[in-house]
Amino acid sequence: MRLHVTDEGPREAPVLVLLCSLGSTVDMWAPQRRDLAADLRVITMDTRGHGGSPVPDGPYTVDELAGDVLETLDGFEVSRASFAGVSLGGAISQAVALRAPERVASLALVCTSARFGDPDPWQERAATVRAGGAGAIADAVVARWFTEDYAAAAPAVRNAMREMIAATPAEGYASCCDAIAAWDSRARLADIAAPTLVISGEQDPATPPEHGQVLADGIPGARFEVVADAAHLASYQRPEIVTPLLAEHLKGSV
Ligand SMILES: O=C(O)CC1=CCC(=O)O1
């Protein structure tokens, strides 16, 4: 499976792979891409079932999604990279680090989890989307992405993100819910060897800081940062905090 990507920055620079959250496309990394591509080759990928990537029938697993990422990098003849992932993208990043540690220079796990709660709500969400499309859940989901104050002050951003979620192919979105329902890396966190930065949004109702703490406690040597005034899409709402944290971490570990 070759994923749709954007490929920015100097060809010969160390590679950073950016991976996206459920219901988003490469546009969710817009606040970071240009800045990070000043010093790095930044390859941002649409997850299977999202954006411009293929939409095979599901269900999917996080391990399959990690395989897509590695195959796509093979296509670019990139053998080693740093990985930063938001939410589902953070789970895929963990899976890449567990499956192919020799290919991972460093990890940044943003607003993500070793286990996204009980499987039942994810299976229910998958059924809702298979029946009614991603538009059926878009308002509820975008309400978790930004703090209330930010959404009220930036309605154009909130509405554009709602449309991004609603435009996700139903089978792709639902099959990624299936992958999230089954994801549980808790017993394997100690096997992650890459230098790791964990970032949580202080007001994230989807993957609250306690989830980030589990990752940081379990991954040897991980650094943990909590971003104030941020919900699930902390990287989008607070780029002035998150981008320098990523840049500093990546500089220290490529
Ligand atoms: O969509 C949500 O509710 C939050 C989320 C969990 C995994 C992901 O990518 O987004």
- Does residue 180 lie within any of the structural domains? no
Does pLDDT of 253 surpass 80?
A: no
- Rounded to the nearest angstrom, the distance between the alpha carbon of 85 and the centre of ligand 1 is 12
Whether 166 maps to a domain, the answer reads no
Residue whose Cα lies nearest atom 10 of ligand 1: it is 22
Q: What is the pLDDT of residue 215?
A: 99
State the pLDDT confidence band at 195, using cuts at 50, 70 and 90.
very high
Q: What number is the ipTM of this complex?
A: 0.96
Under a CB-based contact definition with an 8 Å cutoff, are residues 197 and 107 in contact? yes
Backbone angles phi, psi at 80, to 5 degrees: -145, 140
168: CA distance to ligand 1 center in Å? 13
pLDDT in tens, 52-92: 999 999 999 999 999 999 999 999 999 999 999 999 999 99
How far apart (Å, rounded) are the C-alpha atoms in residues 90 and 96? 10
pTM of the model: 0.98
Distance 88 CA to ligand 1 centre (A): 7
In-domain check, residue 129: no
- pLDDT of 254 reads 62
**What is the Å distance from ligand 1's center to 22 Cα?**
5
Query: Residue 47 Cα, ligand 1 centroid: separation in angstroms?
Result: 13
On whether residue 175 sits in a domain, the answer given is no
The residue whose C-alpha atom lies closest to atom 6 belonging to ligand 1 is: 87
Backbone angles phi, psi at 84, to 5 degrees: -125, 130
**What is the atom index within ligand 1 of the atom nearest the CA of 22?**
9
pLDDT of residue 252: 74
Q: Would 199 be classed as within a structural domain?
A: yes
- Is 195 inside any structural domain? yes
Which residues contact ligand 1 via a Cβ below 6 A? 21-22, 87-88, 116, 141, 144, 180, 206, 232
- Residue 168 in any domain: the answer is no
Number of domains in the chain: 1
| Beta bridge partners of residue 108, listed in sequence order | 84, 197
How many angstroms separate the CA atoms of 201 and 52, rounded?
Answer: 28
CA of 103 to the centre of ligand 1 (A): 26
Residue type for position 196: T
User: How far apart are the C-alpha atoms of 121 and 206, rounded to whole Å?
Assistant: 12
Ligand 1, pocket-test mutation among 20, 21, 118, most atoms within 8 A of CB: 21
Parent domain of 59: 5-116+185-252
**Ligand 1 atom index nearest CA of 88:** 9
The CATH number covering residue 88 comes to 3.40.50.1820
Judge whether 158 lies within some domain.
no
> Atom 4 in ligand 1: which residue has the minimum CA distance?
206
The pLDDT of residue 251: 86
